[in-house]
Chain A
Amino acid sequence: MADASLFAIFMDGVFLKNFLVVQFLGLCSFVGVTKDVKSASGMSGAVIFVITLSAFVSYLLYTFILLPLRLEYLNTIAFIIVIAALVQLVEFIVRKFMPPLYRSLGIYLPLISTNCAVLGAVLLNVMNEYTFIQSIVFGIAAGVGYTVAMLIMASIRERSNVLYVPKAVGRGVTYAFFIALIMSMSFANYFKVIPL
């Protein structure tokens, strides 16, 4: 996989292997925080930020600490600690220096340390043996793909507030899953027409 072009990795991350609707990473936030567009975009912003940062940090950690010391088997523990610490750090920095950004992202940041999307991106980087640049591009792509799916889902749910939906289908997450069904078909299949 080390020879895959950056554009191919990016398109893969955003559409073909979209984290939410194709790979099922981060589904809890996909059905939980998409009741309106405002909170969905806040969550997405926080995820792009943290995924990119942790792709960067975990690559350095894996290549320069875990590999030379032959501690690859500890990668799950190491990555989860790094992500949790990173999220805390980002929260402090944003709160101190960027209060407006903190007001819009603040409540979503703690949720991210247990979001499968972040740990998933980091682990997939290691599994696919991506180089440094490829890891970061994949991280950004995963974040952008997450945002695209979250915003589509939130807009559909927000608009369907005024529609009549049968009670058994329209209750909470069930409705979200029906929307996700249609979205996953388009993401996984129709974007295959783009030649990479």
Chain B
Amino acid sequence: MGDNRSVASEFMRGITKDNPTFGLVLGLCPTLAVTTSVENGIGMAAGTLFVLVGSNMLVSLLRKEIPDSVRIPIELIVIATFVSIVDMGMEAFTPDIYAALGVYIPLIVVNCIVIGRAEAYALKNGVFYSIVDAFGIGTGFLLVLMLLGGIRELLGTGGIKLFGVQLVDFVSMLGYNPIGVMTLSSGAFLTIAVLMTIVNYRKILKAMKGG
């Protein structure tokens, strides 16, 4: 890594080029499973962000002490510790979201984004930039989950409800008829497939203009 990186560019890289879902295509299980509503998406992304920052920080601090041959078990234990903290914290403070997310909270342990960043970034970089990277990737994840959750909640239930406040309600405003399947598993696949098609289409257009 050269010295020409800046905090802002390292942060933005997690949202654009190395975006967990559309750039790196990692951590798809929670992305699809919990985005039945914006609120669940935010809960999941906040948990993942906390784990990412914690594990990137600790792995980066320990990077000179960790022997190369056992680095994956060590990373897994570091991550599992932070996941347990999130698990217990969410159960205590946000029981509704905890009940909705269920088994997917402990499954942050095997989220490829977290271990992927520990492997690819925190083992090679200093503490400060590792934390910046974690915040960038976590924010990218949050934006994707909010987008997916927003689309699915809006089409599936006809409105968006955030922390007990009804923000939009198309059912009473426009007489919209909710498409229930959007909150089921098929809706998740449909939403992500269409979004990825749009991303690919833009990449192809860009390549055609460039070449």
Residues of A within 8 A of B (CB): 21-28, 31, 73-77, 80-81, 84, 113-116, 119-120, 123-124, 127, 167-169, 171-174, 177-178, 180-181, 184-185, 188
8 Å CB contact of A167 from B80, B111, B204: B204
In the complex, chain B residues whose CB is within 8 Å of the CB of A177? 189, 192-193, 196
Residue from B28, B81, B103, B196 in contact with A174 in the complex, judged by beta carbons closer than 8 Å: B196
Q: Select A76's contact among B25, B32, B106, B193, beta carbons within 8 Å.
A: B106
Ranked 6 nearest A-B pairs via Cβ? A177-B193, A181-B189, A24-B33, A27-B28, A168-B201, A174-B196
Residue B190 is within 8 A (CB to CB) of chain A in the complex: yes
Task: Contact check, A119 vs B107: say whether CB atoms are below 8 A apart.
Answer: yes
Contact A76 B196 (CB under 8 A): no
Instruction: Tell yes or no: B122 within 8 A of A by CB.
Output: no
B109 part of interface (Cβ distance < 8 Å): yes
A66–B128 Cα distance when bound, in Å, is 37
Given known pairs A114-B112, A184-B189, the reply for A80 and B76 (CB within 8 Å) is yes
A188 lies within 8 A of B184 (CB): yes
Docked-complex contact B73 and A116, CB < 8 angstroms: no
Q: Is the interface of A mostly helix, strand, loop or mixed?
A: helix
Residues of chain B with a CB closer than 8 A to A184's CB: 184-186, 189
Decide: B83 and A167 in contact? CB cutoff 8 A: no
> Chain A contacts of B186 at CB under 8 A?
181, 184-185, 188
A-B contact count (CB 8 A): 110
Extra 4 A-B pairs, beta carbons < 8 Å, given A24-B185, A114-B110: A23-B185, A24-B33, A28-B29, A184-B185
- CB contacts under 8 Å to A, within B4-22, are none
Contact B110 A115 (CB under 8 A): yes
| Chain A residues within an 8 Å CB radius of B160 | none
User: Which B residues, 103 to 128, have Cβ-Cβ distances below 8 Å to chain A?
Assistant: 103, 106-107, 109-112, 115
Known A-B contacts A167-B200, A181-B186, A184-B186; A81 and B73 likewise in contact (beta carbons under 8 Å): yes
CA distance A113 to B192 in the complex (A): 26
Set of chain B residues within 8 Å of A123, measured between Cβ atoms: 103, 106-107
B81 — which chain A residues lie within 8 A by C-beta?
77
